[in-house]
Structure 1
Amino acid sequence: MDLFEDLPDPGVVAQKSKPLLFDDLPRNPDVASSVPDLFGELPETQNDLKAEKRKWLNQNGSKDHEEKKPCKGDVSNTEKSIKKCLLTTFKQTDEGFLKQASSQDGDAPSGTHNQSPGKPAWKDGTTATCVLLVDKDIYVANLGDSRAILCRFNETSGKLTSVPLVKEHNPTQYEERMRIQKAGGTVRDGRVMGVLEVSRSIGDGQYKRCGVISVPDVRRCPLTSNDRFILLACDGLFKVFCPEEAIIFVTAILEDETLLAKTGKTSQDVRFQAACNRLANEAVRRGSADNVTIILVAIEH
């Protein structure tokens, strides 16, 4: 499945006045309609060593000093360790949710709903999106319908690009629906058992027997010098904002010169906080009735 086949066509042109945050960008960039291959493997090692090897062999006629492959196995092992760590973290978090719900159910009298004052009852669940930075790569673990969007500048087109970093988990997707049905669950009106809107989540203990799992997708994205920031948000934002609109909205605020530094905060901190607040407020103003949680991550070079 093409990761970027569902990227909406750009419909908004980014308005830029005076360069500030992106002072290396040309004026009036708009959103690119195509996205580069993001999650391919790391570039192959240059062939300089191989060329030197062939030259040495031609001169000496021996293979006694063949060079070792440059730590390809180390890279693979590192990625495996990172993925294992993320998968374990999600698993343990899910188990914590389920244990909390189970302990509260055990304390409640038969036929009653136990929710002591100040003590939450974890009957429901949550989506989760995690971004881990390792050297110059980010590893993104996701389950549910929250999203992580990378703002990247395309030098060739001179446009800002909204790059999706995750795949959402919807019960209407073929692989997700098949797993749910094999577990004995059903998908009605685009929801698990006609209720749950996502096919993977943390918690939601009553749907675990229906094929809802807490295993995230884990993907790697090499960062480039053209990457500006990462936007993480739950589906409440994206029900009223397409990714391109959100990127343009945030960029305009990050380049607002009237937002100055405050006591204990840099001008960058102030702008990023303002961008989060204003984007969430605009989502509510547009009619989003769902939770709108937003995190902006600056990428510094």
Structure 2
Amino acid sequence: MDLFDDLPEPTQTSGPPPSAITAQLQTAPDEEEDRRLKRRREDAEEEKKDEIKKVCREGLPRLKGYVAARRGEREEMQDAHVLLPDMSSCLSSLPGHVSSVSYFAVFDGHGGARASRFAAENLHLNLAKKFPTGDNENLDKLLKKCLLDTFRQTDEDFLKKASSQKPAWKDGSTATCVLVVDDMVYAANLGDSRAVLCRMEAAAADGQKKLATLALSKEHNPTIYEERMRIQRAGGTVRDGRVLGVLEVSRSIGDGQYKRCGVISTPDVRRCQLTANDRFILLACDGLFKVFSADEAIKFVLNVLQEASVEQKDDLTEEELRFEAACQQLASEAVRRGCADNVTVILVSVCH
């Protein structure tokens, strides 16, 4: 707004005649009335914006996260996770017309638990600092850049801390995070932890809805052609499906000793809009997917959700109890099937 909007027009330098002074005094109340009307219009516009946001929020999916973690046969739990169904408290402000932001992430550490814990503690904070603000027409593009910058920053910060230790830390970690902005999912991942979406597609001829398992992440291991080529161009080698015969993943946070061999911290970022047919998002470390295919895991969860009996608890609804049971049973079943690795499962229910 022009700071001089409400000032009277400049008058002649020799001084106004008495009649002009009288006229100015007479118009002063009119100017005050104009200002009052202007303030009312601005207040009305703010109320309208708030009402639009409220209507948008009411039509958006409600997300709730559930987690189950098993140590398996490992001596140490090296996985970490974060559930932030409402991330707005971490943000200085939300972009225009954005009503809600949620964040869920799983980190699978190797060589120790320090990289996974560091990522769990810091990645979402770096994301909050870099999050777009204001009215942005190209929010999608800005959010993708924000995620890329966030992963790079988190990796650099951990490597700096790791190299300053005596002896230097050699920990590394996968990272799979799901950022939900209103009804748009942005999935970013490094390594072999995965995220999948359960969608019940339109009814078939027999009236049954068809199950679709949508991959939200991309696996990064050195046996994949593009990953192997990058490692070899950087002077590294791939033996027995591992970087230098040791590291199972080709992208990660940490792993400072492998960064010179083409191991990078640039995530794949995928975008997907939630629909009324979506039931839940599953995030899990590779411990689960060593003994379950993505389709099998989704069907296992659906079977538990459809079971008739659940033990009632005062603070949880029946739907919440079913998701909690499905999450716990899936992690336990992975261990029962012989997975000796750490297993972490996050289920994010999508309610409309």
Name the TM-score class by shorter chain: 0.5 to 0.7
Map of 1:34 onto structure 2: none
Structure 1 pair 264–135 and aligned structure 2 pair: CA distance change class (3 A): same
Quote how far apart the aligned CAs of 1:212 are: 0.3
Change (3 A) 1:266 1:99: farther
Equivalent pairs counted in the alignment come to 214
2:177 pairs with 1:126: no
Q: Which amino acid aligns with 1:283?
A: A
* Residue in structure 2 matched with residue 268 of structure 1 by the alignment: 319
Q: Does 1:160 align with 2:207?
A: no
User: Paired residue for 2:187?
Assistant: 140
**What amino acid is aligned across from residue 335 of structure 2 in structure 1?**
V
Name the aligned partner's letter for residue 219 of structure 1: R
More strand by share: 2
Counterpart Cα distance in 2 of 1:267 and 1:98:
45
Distance in 2, matches of 1:263 and 1:123, equals: 46
Deviation at 1:156, TM superposition (A): 4.4
Superposition deviation, residue 294 in structure 1: 0.5
Give matches, 1:49-68, under 5 Å: none
| DSSP-derived class of the 2:164 partner | helix
What's the secondary structure of 1:241's corresponding residue?
A: coil
Percent of pairs identical after alignment? 68
Corresponding residue number in structure 2 for 1:16: none
Give the TM-score taking structure 1 as reference length. Answer: 0.67
1:16-35 map, 5 Å: none
RMSD in angstroms over aligned alpha carbons? 1.7
In the alignment, does 2:307 pair up with 1:256? yes
What residue in structure 2 maps to residue 87 of structure 1?
148
Q: What's the TM-score once normalised by structure 2's chain length?
A: 0.58
| CA distance in 2: counterparts of 1:234 and 1:140, whole angstroms | 15
How many angstroms does 1:272 deviate by?
Answer: 1.7
Counterpart secondary structure, 1:269: helix
Aligned ranges 1:167-206 → 2 under 5 Å: 167-206=218-257
Report the structure, 1 or 2, having the larger helix content: 2
Please say which structure displays the higher CA radius of gyration.
Answer: 2
- Tell me whether 1:149 sits opposite 2:205 in the alignment: no
For structure 2, list consecutive stretches of 5 or more residues without a partner in the other structure: 1-134
Greater shift after overlay, 226-235 or 81-90?
Answer: 81-90
8 Å contact kept, 1:261–1:268: no
Deviations 1:36-66 (A, max 9, x none): xxxxxxxxxxxxxxxxxxxxxxxxxxxxxxx
1:97 offset after TM fit, Å? Answer: 2.1
Separation in 1, partners of 2:203, 2:258: 47
Q: CA deviation at 1:174?
A: 1.4
Runs of 4+ in 1 over 4 A off after TM superposition: none
